[in-house]
Amino acid sequence: MKRPLADEIRPKTLDEVVGQRHLLAPGAVLRRLIESGTDVNMVFYGPSGTGKTTIANIIAQQTHKTLHRLNATTASLQDIKDIIADVGTLLAPGGILLYLDEIQYFNKKQQQSLLEFMENGSLTLIASTTENPYFYVYGALLSRSTVFEFKPVAPAEVEPAVRRALNMERERLDLPVEWEDEVPRHIATACGGDVRKAINAVELLCQAAIPVDGKLRLTREDTLQVSQRSAMRYDRGGDAMYDLASALMKSLRGSDPDAALHYLARFLEAGDLITPCRRLLCSASEDIGMAYPQAVVIVKACVDAAMQLGLPEAQLPLAQAAVLLATAPKSNSTSAGIAAAWADVKAGRTGDVPRELQNVHADTAGQEREQGYLYPHNFTGHWVRQQYLPDALKDVVYYQYGDNKTEQAARTYWEKIKGQ
């Protein structure tokens, strides 16, 4: 049976690995650890197809250990016990290297079962995860491991691997293989930094190619169909989603409408309406706030329209909301104010509600007390000097007027009314 191309082309040495120069360049820490044969427990964190499994294989060869692979989505405690049983036997004369893929799917008890063997050195663990290990990996296991972050591979680094795969397919197939000039570059760009996806696209293209004049010709049109939608990593509820949500929010706050539209489009391409709608609504109050108070009303209308329309038409009101927020004047005075007030409440800095503000209807019948509340509408300008905060906080200022036109107009109005 013919081996999958991605497996056949898998690098055997560190110099053949595509990308991850920050980890594998001469002198980099991970490379030095591998070349020295040091037994270090590691956690490889990063998206799929970036070399985590390949490097684990190379480490196993370099350290002369018996490599065992488990996937946490299907493995059990018994699988771990079976592997540990090989320690000290002829089946594992140099020790055991356990490569545990998708460790985030192991529960705390399963992760804890590895600690004893990591401590006594009978097992070297390399765990991989596509999610942030500081959220998903048990703290005691993390403290015994070194985390290395793998990054999506740039198209310029993927393209040589694509060309190598094309040449390998040319050797493996019975008919000659030719391709249009744009094919390698497009595959490298469309794979979204996932080298495995790029290699699989090459193999699929060759399998689907129609013989013409005794040759297999790979066209740009076929490449577009094979690689469509693959350039974007998105896992609802995963790191990629939160990274996009953060990027959208920060682009709105940074007044960059082009970036805001870009990240919004990535959500739309993934079919996720809920996440960008939440970010847009939040930004309207957090980042624009009193500088343009009507923004939240307009954005809410745009969000409601988008949810009623559904995709693809939802793109229109959401794009309108994104551009509005990105180009609107900014103020975080309200978000800063509520944050300061809430911090005081959490710290216990509260105090009794002033008598003037208490609910008189709560007094016992026949024991009513004079309240002393001054009704502002009975006074000029609908305002009268009166204490509203508890005694312990009576001089606290939470809200600071922003430097935008709207808030400065309000400030001028109230300074005149209050005679300041």
User: What residue spans define the domains of the chain?
Assistant: 20-149, 155-227, 239-327, 353-418
Q: What are the tens digits of pLDDT across the range 216-264?
A: 888 888 888 777 555 455 566 667 788 899 999 999 999 999 999 999 9
Give CA–CA dist 155/29, Å, rounded.
25
Average pLDDT over residues 334-360: 89
| CATH class (in words) of the domain with range 155-227 | mainly alpha
pLDDT at 190: 83
CB-CB contact of 191 with 158 (8 Å): yes
Average pLDDT over residues 62-84: 83
CB-CB contact of 168 with 4 (8 Å): no
Average pLDDT over residues 53-61: 87
Q: According to CATH, what is the number of the domain 353-418?
A: 1.10.3710.10
Q: According to CATH, what is the number of the domain 20-149?
A: 3.40.50.300
Q: What are the tens digits of pLDDT across the range 156-170?
A: 999 999 999 998 888
Q: What are the tens digits of pLDDT across the range 86-131?
A: 766 655 666 778 899 989 888 888 888 888 888 877 788 899 998 8
Q: According to CATH, what is the number of the domain 239-327?
A: 1.20.272.10
Checking if the pLDDT of 305 tops 90, the result is: yes
Asked whether the domain spanning 239-327 has the same topology as the one spanning 155-227, the reply is no
pLDDT at 238: 67
Mean pLDDT (the chain) is 86
209-242: burial string, b at 16+ Cβ within 10 Å, e else: beeeeeebbbbeebbeebbeebbebbeeeebbbe
First-to-last alpha carbon distance for the chain, in angstroms, is 87
pLDDT at 89: 63
**CA angle at 258 for the pair 256 and 262, rounded to the nearest 5°:** 120
Place of tokens 């960008």: 276
